[in-house]
Amino acid sequence: MTVSIPTVYSLTDLTVGEGIATGQLITPGGLQTIAANHNFIGGNFRPQVCDVFDVDGFGSIAAGGSSYKVLTGTPVLEQLDGRGLTFVGVFTNASGSLASNLRLICGANQGPVVTLAAGATATTVTLTCDTPSSGNFVVGVQAGNYNTDNDTILLTGSFFWSGKTGSQSSSPTSSGFVWAQAAEFADTFPLTVEQVNRFIGGPLTAWNGAPQSIGSLNWDWTFRAPTTTSTSYTEIGRIFLNKRRKTMKIKIGAIGDNGTLKASILGNDVEVITGATGGPDSSFSDLSGMNVNLSSSIDLINSPDLFEVVLYWKSTSGSSAKVTNVNFMVDKS
């Protein structure tokens, strides 16, 4: 059996404050609305996994023909349902004659190509791609088919989970969400415990099953990303984070090579070590070989709602070290 996820829902079938007289028939309309709302939450909770912005834009070196180069990206935590990612961004194409091709890469998965016309200015583009159903991965925005450095510029954008559409199995998803079957709430069906149990914990299960970010710092992968050979820490950026919940844990994810990231948070220092390989390389077209480097879990229960994080970067061994993306992700484990 399959269940359909509604795109329009209403609570008008429910009357608040009315009692039910002895022997009165319980009609299914209100329960069907609750079931539809339950499925809507499961299919349409789509938090962001990263927001990016650069006043100068994220650019890349020339990528002619079929070659693609990464503009920017971010580490993403495992999403068991493999529900796919969407990116909505604002792009500019400085070329007066050559269109640019844009696409989203999620690990080894490549999304469909969207063409950005020559001379396009501040144009909003939507990109999508399938995501792995297991393991952490790196997502990146790529541009190709242009011949001059910084022809194609990404100004700002947001990565977020794609919604579920159509009919879904009545079996639980891999993350544990159970779809309600509105058709089973009918005049001829008794109200069973199993039907009610489908709703219990539904919103929390949907929330737990969708990784999300509370803030990030991002650089383009080619021109302005912090690079150093020094084995002493140098400050590379600051960010204010809003934890949004009274109790929350986060992990810091970083994309980089040969270095160590230090985050000073509420008087404590947390480090993220990046390896010698698997970091940002402008030639990557398949991001499946890139490492998602994570910190230990950081408990924010005693932090204020708004707090500052200072980031530092150094080379681990004295070789050239580069960091491109730092993402503060909610730890829902």
pLDDT digits (tens, 9 = 90+) for 49-104: 999 999 899 998 888 878 899 999 999 999 999 999 999 999 999 998 899 999 99
Token couple for 289: 């070989």
How buried is residue 123: exposed, middle or buried, by Cβ count under 10 Å (0-12/13-18/19+)? middle
Give pLDDT < 50 ranges for the chain. 8-17
Residue range(s) occupied by CATH 2.60.120.260 in the chain: 48-161, 214-330
Q: What is the CATH number of domain 48-161?
A: 2.60.120.260
pLDDT in the model for residue 327: 97
* Alpha-carbon dihedral 220, 221, 225, 227, rounded to 10 degrees: -170
pLDDT in the model for residue 200: 85
pLDDT in the model for residue 18: 52
pLDDT in the model for residue 248: 92
CB 323 within 8 A of CB 234: no
Kindly report the average pLDDT of the chain as a whole number: 88
235: Cβ–Cβ under 8 A, 6 or more apart, which residues? 310, 311, 312
- Dihedral sign of CA atoms 280, 238, 75, 215 in order: negative
Q: What is the CATH number of domain 214-330?
A: 2.60.120.260
CA-based nearest residue to 72, from 170, 158, 141: 141
In tens, the pLDDT along 305-324 reads 999 999 999 999 999 999 99
Partners of residue 50 on adjacent β-strands: 159
pLDDT in the model for residue 282: 57
pLDDT in the model for residue 281: 65
How buried is residue 223: exposed, middle or buried, by Cβ count under 10 Å (0-12/13-18/19+)? middle
